[in-house]
A and B are shown apart, each in its own frame.
Chain A
Amino acid sequence: AQTVTQSQPEMSVQEAETVTLSCTYDTSESDYYLFWYKQPPSRQMILVIRQEAYKQQNATENRFSVNFQKAAKSFSLKISDSQLGDAAMYFCANYQLIWGAGTKLIIKP
């Protein structure tokens, strides 16, 4: 069975610091796509970053980057220079069909 696990229910970081959110997954597929989404208090789900499993290079979008360890089935999200607007629930998903339970990110001013 395909699973996605986010083991950190809540994380906090000081503004301008760096934080890493963890995600592990299990799949029998050889090719797949992994995603990180952000859900702020407005509840709108927003795509943060997307990683294609067959690509060796870690995806990067401005201050957001992933550490994709295919053998370990790990897909963590690193947020650099954290900003107050980054405060949200963050969800990891496999093909956008299997979702983790989410990590609540708190930014301390």
Chain B
Amino acid sequence: NAGVMQNPRHLVRRRGQEARLRCSPMKGHSHVYWYRQLPEEGLKFMVYLQKENIIDESGMPKERFSAEFPKEGPSILRIQQVVRGDSAAYFCASSHGPTYGYTFGSGTRLTVV
């Protein structure tokens, strides 16, 4: 098991385009979490999903951002009509549940030009 796989590692988008970030959790993990990290800052929680369900999206901006974790396939974080302020590293983590330590992916660095 290669751990949590995120792709792409780097993503460049022009303002107004869509960004799709993918996350495949560790085998056996059904809980997925997305975070955003700005330079020199800690992680900001965005959304917590369990297979086919959004459990907590309190950290997700109300507009342009959406997340899903389908029954089959990776979790997707989608950002529509990207703006320069969306430039950040986006990390995905998976676990057996919220009280267990998470396994993090290597992140996707999104740059909006």
Interface residues of A (CB under 8 A from B): 6, 33, 35, 37, 42-47, 50, 52, 91, 93, 95-102
B101 lies within 8 A of A43 (CB): no
- For the complex, what is the distance from the CA of A93 to the CA of B43, rounded to whole Å? 9
Is the beta-carbon distance between B41 and A102 smaller than 8 angstroms?
yes
Q: Is the CB of A96 within 8 A of B41?
A: no
Name the CB-closest residue of A to B107. A43
CB-CB under 8 A for A43 and B45, given A33-B99, A95-B98: no
- State the CA gap A12–B91 with chains docked (Å): 27
Q: Is the beta-carbon distance between A45 and B93 smaller than 8 angstroms? A: yes
Give the 7 A-B residue pairs with the shortest CB-CB distance, closest first.
A45-B104, A47-B101, A99-B42, A99-B43, A97-B45, A101-B42, A102-B42
Give 12 pairs: A residue, B residue, CB < 8 Å, sorted on A: A33-B98, A43-B106, A45-B43, A45-B91, A46-B104, A47-B101, A52-B99, A96-B45, A96-B102, A99-B43, A102-B41, A102-B42
Choose one: A42, A44, A96; the contact of B33 (CB below 8 Å).
Answer: A96
The reply to whether A96 and B93 contact each other, CB–CB distance below 8 Å, is yes
Complex-state Cα separation, A33 to B98, whole angstroms:
9
Q: Least Cβ distance of B65 to chain A in Å?
A: 17
Q: Does B44 contact A (CB under 8 A)?
A: yes
| Bound form: Cα–Cα A30–B43 in Å | 24
Are B41 and A101 in touch, CB under 8 angstroms?
yes
Chain B residue nearest in CB terms to A91: B42
- Whether the pair B44, A99 counts as a contact (CB closer than 8 A) is yes
